[in-house]
Amino acid sequence: MTTTTTEPSLTRSRSGAIAIVATIATLSIIGAIGLWQGNSLGKDVAGIPWTIISAGIWLAYGVLLVMLFIRPARRAQLLGLAVVLALAWGGLAATDFAARANGAVEQIVENVSATLDSTWANVFAAPGIEETLKMLGILLLIFLPGARRLGATAGMALGALVAASFQVVENEVYTLQGMLDAPDALGGVMVETLFLRGVVGVFSHVVYSAAIGAAIGWLIAGPRDRRLRRLAATVGVFIVMVVLHTWSNWTAHEEEGIMYLLTMGVGLIVLVATFRFARSQDPIAEVVPDA
């Protein structure tokens, strides 16, 4: 009679994967419920037709964003489950929890002083909150393991997927909020939001999280004797991305059109640099077939 045993390391790996999947799935469901409830007034004002139209447009927009990172995801051999979980975390869990946290900060500011403009809380506090929440998703997913080739490319792809979903859902939330504020100009709100947040503001969340994800993948895949230096560099990348995010929020809040465009230009440069960095760190990815 032959008996088979499962190695402890394999058992731990499976248990860890199940725990990560369960955590992301549960928090994403909670986030979905929170987003639905939190935007009920906006949906009521927009009505079913405009809600569906705006959601459809942003969904198509999201598909285009995701397509930018399909090749890197395939090069890193990301598991399909990791891609799905990345989209769920970014669009549901991170978006909802960020909205709750940002709202709490605004409430604190209002309670502290009646003279302070609480909207400034979003300008300076939101970037740190949002980048931290998106990064938590990247950390969970990168340890799934969600990639067969762990490294900067895998981290970049995971970060971009998390952020693309976050960016799409957040834009839909802003669209519904805009329609709530201007119920007599629903079409105008849709066009304006699409232009400002979709076209002009395209190089924002995806850029920040792609860079942070690439740094995390680079850190984890690197040699152990250089982990401290790599950790310092990764923390530095995170701080720089939060600063860039803050600068983007400030220029938008102050309606500094030229400065906002320049910020998006910097975002494009960062995105190109992140792609090049990932390729230089994971040269093996270049020989992975596309099919």
- 3 lies in a domain? no
Domain range enclosing 79: 12-287
CA distance 175 to 189: 7
- 5 lies in a domain? no
- 56 lies in a domain? yes
Q: Are 162 and 239 in contact (CB under 8 A)?
A: no
Give the model's pLDDT for residue 29.
98
Give the model's pLDDT for residue 144.
80
Q: Are 17 and 141 in contact (CB under 8 A)?
A: no
Give the model's pLDDT for residue 13.
74
CA distance 15 to 37: 33
Give the model's pLDDT for residue 161.
97
* Residue burial 262-287, b: 16+ Cβ < 10 Å; e: rest: ebbeebeebbeebbebbbebbeebee
Give the model's pLDDT for residue 291.
38
Tokens 């490319």 label which residue? 153
- 257 lies in a domain? yes
- 2 lies in a domain? no
- 7 lies in a domain? no
Give the model's pLDDT for residue 146.
61
- 147 lies in a domain? yes
Amino acid identity of residue 58, one-letter, is: W
- 213 lies in a domain? yes
* Token digits of residue 156: 């970049």
Give the model's pLDDT for residue 254.
86
Give the model's pLDDT for residue 22.
95
Mean pLDDT per 10-residue interval, the chain, length 291 residues: 51 80 96 95 92 95 93 89 95 97 89 75 90 96 75 95 97 95 92 93 96 96 87 97 96 88 95 96 55 38
For the chain, what is the domain count? 1
Give the model's pLDDT for residue 290.
42
Give the model's pLDDT for residue 253.
85
CA-CA-CA-CA torsion sign (21, 27, 30, 36): negative
Give the model's pLDDT for residue 286.
45
* Token digits of residue 226: 């250089």
Dihedral-angle region of residue 218 (phi above 0 means left; psi in -120 to 50 means alpha; beta otherwise): alpha
